[in-house]
Amino acid sequence: MITLVGVGHVFDISDPLQQVIRSRRPEVVCLELDPARYRSLMQKETRGKVPLQYLLLSKVQKRMAGKFGSEVGAEMLAGVEGAKAVGAKLALIDMDAQSVFAELWRRMTFPEKVRLLTGSLAGLLVSKRTVEKELENYSEDDSRYIEAMSREFPVMKEVLIDRRNAHMTKQVQALSTIHTSIVVVVGDGHLPGMAEALKSLPLEIIRLKQLKDGTFDSGAQASYSVSFQYP
């Protein structure tokens, strides 16, 4: 069984995420991290020179996480702790972040760069209530948000979503040939694409909203067959 768990990088969901991992008791926990980001997170160090757009995104996430009583990366640390608790292996399945952002900035058109930087700056001022409302809207119709991203930020969608979905899915598929129980912790926006690519395998999906609301099934993995648990 593969359990896809959608997380948000600014929400306080560490406890429910660990509960999911403990109840499923996977052989492997896959995280949306590359080795460099994993080391930085575990050592609590700031990486070296980073692109401006990455720095802005980091500041937005850090500011918003504080409003939700969390820290950026807390959900990934919870994934690490959850894996340790059940004796699972860790698999870092994401692409190298610096390479991804370098390609993104190189390929984006000027109007797309302006929209990205403007949106990042606006994100510094957005309220907690606004974020919660947007999450509700996203949970009701995530396809609308993906379509909007395709229109406004076509290169961003291709580089940050589509290519990374394909890369991470390939890692999970390879692991599924040697492990029978896998928990995959990725940003909720990756779930629709990855779920579609993995639909031929025994699959369970737990969305970010379910983690926040505590509405996910806390039963053991053995009780599941293919189960798409969208809100």
Question: How does pLDDT run across 178-222, given as a tens digit for each residue?
Answer: 999 999 999 988 998 999 999 999 999 999 888 888 887 776 443
Predicted confidence at residue 163, as pLDDT, reads: 92
pTM (global) more than 0.85: no
Q: What pLDDT does 228 receive?
A: 32
Residues of the chain with pLDDT below 70 are 10, 44-72, 119-142, 219-231
**Is 113 within 8 Å of 49 (Cβ atoms)?**
no
What pLDDT is attached to residue 227? 35
Provide the token pair at 222. Answer: 């053995």
